[in-house]
Amino acid sequence: MDNNASLRANVNLLGQLLGDTIRAHHGESFLDKIETIRQLAKSARQGNQDDQQQLLSTLKNLSDDELLPVARAFSQFLNLANVAEQFHTISREQQGAADPEPLGQMFSRLKSAQLDEQQIREAVAALDIELVLTAHPTEVTRRTFIHKHVQLNDCLAALELNLPEQEREDVLGRIQQLITQAWHSNEIRSQRPTPVDEAKWGFAVIENSIWPALPKFMRQLDTQLNEQLGIRLPLDAAPVRFASWMGGDRDGNPFVTAKVTREVLLLGRWMASSLFLNDIQELVSELSMSEANDELYRLADQSDEPYRTVLRRLREDLRETLLHLNAKVHGQKTDARDLITTTAQLQQPLELCYRSLHECGLGLIADGMLLDVLRKVACFGIHLVKLDVRQDGDRHAQALAEITRYLGLGDYAEWSESDKQAFLLNELNSRRPLLPRQWQPSDDTKEVLDTCRVIAEHPRDAFGIYIISMAGAPSDVLAVQLLLKETGVDFPMPVAPLFETLDDLNQAPRSSSSCSTYPGTAVTCRAVSS
């Protein structure tokens, strides 16, 4: 059996429909030219020298008006082929035609290695995998295309069903519409995406891909743990979490400012609230049961539909929070209140509903969508992703040098490493403030301090780590800790010095151990190479 036959069929279908769109917009002769180029490229790749020369000649003779449409035709065909390939991979996995389920393979290997089951349980309990979305503006796919590709995937799934002829024609018509929409949309932005645009792209990836995928993974992991070891994942388990550099990576990017970081943090909360609101709305529709434990009945004021009553309140709180966040992002005033400010406010009523269903013998219902939403709460929280903040180490040193010069203490930049450490440790342990009240810092120093103040405005779980580029000494880490302390950050924020030269890498162990002399300094060392 040819497992790739359906893939080729879908690629041909999408390519044919793209051809129909191009023909309708540019005419038959233009489509023939694209097909000629495709055939020549295929032949040239197989080593035909004559066709290679003819291909080069054909491309050189394209008019200026033809260059972009030809490039777009092949670009969009590749995008459609990728959609078909991704769908094919997922479809084969669901049908069991692909390799065995990877989590099952993992547990089989662990058992064959004769590892102690208690060790496996402890390792699973300690799982803490953080996937980081990084900012690469040259690779940004417009959110509108991400959305169209998701819909195309759904259409391909529908075509695999035994649909009546008219319904099949409707699906094919929808695919044609999506391809035509994409052809008449600009793939390339007319303006360079801003850091906020990059963050919105990251949130779109989460909304369309990661958000629906995470509970499926958690369900598979929970099932394997139960089958292989007889244990279940706790409700608050978060073996996989997500972080982002988008809106926080200011190393060498003057467009990432404290204002941008503040806006991205608000947008993350807005997106999380919006996604959870959709899920809670669906739960309100599903959980119509009347049986509940005493705790839930009391919270629901003895309602005949206790689950719906509790979840409707949560839904209204989320709606109010969304109104507040939307106004704040746009710099507007609003009477809406910021009601959902901690993950626990989402988690507690959902966990109560979960416990009540199990106590009433309705565990089958509890372990459905409600459990999936609880998994999302644990892994995403109300901030959706943890924002990493990244800054060049020299910027911190320059800020401190400006402060010490103003205070008449000398020039921090000219001090030896031992003198820097002594000063920083003394100030970190001091109860008096270091920053002068009436002092007007330079724009660069103000930006560094404003970034730290943004961190101080938000809770610990809104952030991942503070990353120092081009770090080379313990003072680089201590400097960040001092600036965070002086701007009001009252939680221990992990600091990750990036050792980016050979000398710094060789000195990294000593630098890291030296930082531990200040209590509360959490150091995460990262090494990067070019």
Q: Average the pLDDT over 474-484 and give the result.
A: 96
Record the pTM.
Answer: 0.80
User: Looking up tokens 């120092």, which residue turns up?
Assistant: 468
Helix pair angle (393-406, 474-486), 10° resolution? 60
Which helix (H) or strand (E) segment holds residue 278: the answer is: helix 258-286
| Residue type, position 458, single letter | H
Sign of CA dihedral 423, 426, 428, 432: negative
Confidence band of 86 (pLDDT split at 50, 70, 90):
confident
Shared-domain flag, residues 286 and 224: yes
In a domain, 463, yes or no: yes
Structure tokens at 83: 């959609």
In a domain, 490, yes or no: yes
Is residue 517 a contact partner of residue 477, using CB atoms and an 8 Å limit? no
Shared-domain flag, residues 225 and 339: yes
Annotate 426-437 with DSSP letters as a single string.
Answer: HHHT-SS--S-S
In a domain, 444, yes or no: yes
- CATH number reported for the structural domain that contains residue 348 in this entry: 1.20.1440.90
Confidence band of 97 (pLDDT split at 50, 70, 90):
very low
Q: Average the pLDDT over 351-374 and give the result.
A: 97
pLDDT > 90: what percent of the chain?
70
Tell whether the model's pLDDT for residue 162 goes beyond 70: yes
Tell whether the model's pLDDT for residue 255 goes beyond 80: yes
Annotate 138-168 with DSSP letters as a single string.
Answer: GGPPPHHHHHHHHHHHHHHHHHTS---HHHH
In a domain, 147, yes or no: no
Closest CA to 422 of 478, 468, 471: 478
| pLDDT for the residue 122 | 86
CA distance 324 to 340: 10
Query: Which pLDDT tens digit goes with each residue over 281-312?
Result: 999 999 999 999 999 999 999 999 999 999 99
Shared-domain flag, residues 331 and 362: yes
* Domain total in the chain: 3
| pLDDT for the residue 115 | 80
Is residue 180 a contact partner of residue 80, using CB atoms and an 8 Å limit? no
CA distance 484 to 111: 47
Sorted by sequence, the CB contacts under 8 Å of residue 296 that are 6+ apart come out as: 306, 307, 310, 352, 353, 356
Tell whether the model's pLDDT for residue 470 goes beyond 50: yes
Shared-domain flag, residues 252 and 318: yes
Shared-domain flag, residues 395 and 364: no
Structure tokens at 58: 């054909």
CA distance 478 to 511: 11
Shared-domain flag, residues 447 and 345: no
Helix residue ranges, H only, 407-493:
417-428, 443-457, 474-486
Q: What angle do CA 343, 349, 351 make, to 5 degrees?
A: 90
Q: Average the pLDDT over 93-117 and give the result.
A: 71
In a domain, 174, yes or no: no
Shared-domain flag, residues 201 and 346: yes
In a domain, 173, yes or no: no
Helix%, strand%, coil% for the chain, nearest 5: 65, 5, 30
Shared-domain flag, residues 26 and 130: no
Is residue 296 a contact partner of residue 287, using CB atoms and an 8 Å limit? no
DSSP annotation of 364: H
Look at 523 and 335; give whichever has higher pLDDT: 335
| pLDDT for the residue 527 | 43
Neighbours of 527 (CB within 10 A): 11
CA distance 374 to 370: 6
Tell whether the model's pLDDT for residue 529 goes beyond 50: no
Q: Is 247 exposed, middle or buried (0-12, 13-18, 19+ CB in 10 A)?
A: buried
Residue that terminates a domain, selected from 384, 400, 417: 384
Q: Average the pLDDT over 82-99 and give the result.
A: 71
Query: Which pLDDT tens digit goes with each residue over 448-463?
Result: 999 999 999 999 999 9
Tell whether the model's pLDDT for residue 504 goes beyond 80: no
| pLDDT for the residue 114 | 79
In a domain, 56, yes or no: yes
In a domain, 157, yes or no: no
Q: 104-108, 214-218, 298-302, 493-497: which range is least confident on average?
A: 104-108
CA distance 229 to 110: 11
Tell whether the model's pLDDT for residue 526 goes beyond 70: no
Query: Which pLDDT tens digit goes with each residue over 123-152?
Result: 888 899 999 998 665 454 566 777 788 899
Sorted by sequence, the CB contacts under 8 Å of residue 484 that are 6+ apart come out as: 452, 455, 456, 466, 493
Shared-domain flag, residues 242 and 360: yes
Annotate 29-53 with DSSP letters as a single string.
Answer: HHHHHHHHHHHHHHHHHTT-HHHHH
Shared-domain flag, residues 104 and 81: no
Neighbours of 259 (CB within 10 A): 13
Is residue 281 a contact partner of residue 315, using CB atoms and an 8 Å limit? yes
Q: Is 176 exposed, middle or buried (0-12, 13-18, 19+ CB in 10 A)?
A: middle
Shared-domain flag, residues 380 and 394: no
Q: Average the pLDDT over 322-337 and give the result.
A: 93
Tell whether the model's pLDDT for residue 189 goes beyond 80: no
| pLDDT for the residue 136 | 60
Shared-domain flag, residues 202 and 335: yes
Residue that terminates a domain, selected from 353, 368, 384: 384
Query: In 3-state terms, what secondary structure has residue 300?
Result: coil
Alpha carbon 393 to its chain centroid, in Å, reads: 26
Query: Which pLDDT tens digit goes with each residue over 20-74?
Result: 999 999 999 999 999 999 999 999 889 888 889 999 999 999 998 999 999 999 9
Q: Which domain holds residue 464?
A: 388-527
Mean pLDDT, the chain, rounded, equals: 89
Cα-based distances in Å from 182 to 134, 157, 200: 26, 20, 20
| pLDDT for the residue 188 | 64
Residues 293-316 as b or e (16 or more Cβ within 10 Å = b): beebbebbeebebbbbbbbbebbe
CA distance 145 to 59: 28
Is residue 262 a contact partner of residue 331, using CB atoms and an 8 Å limit? no
Residue that terminates a domain, selected from 368, 384, 400: 384
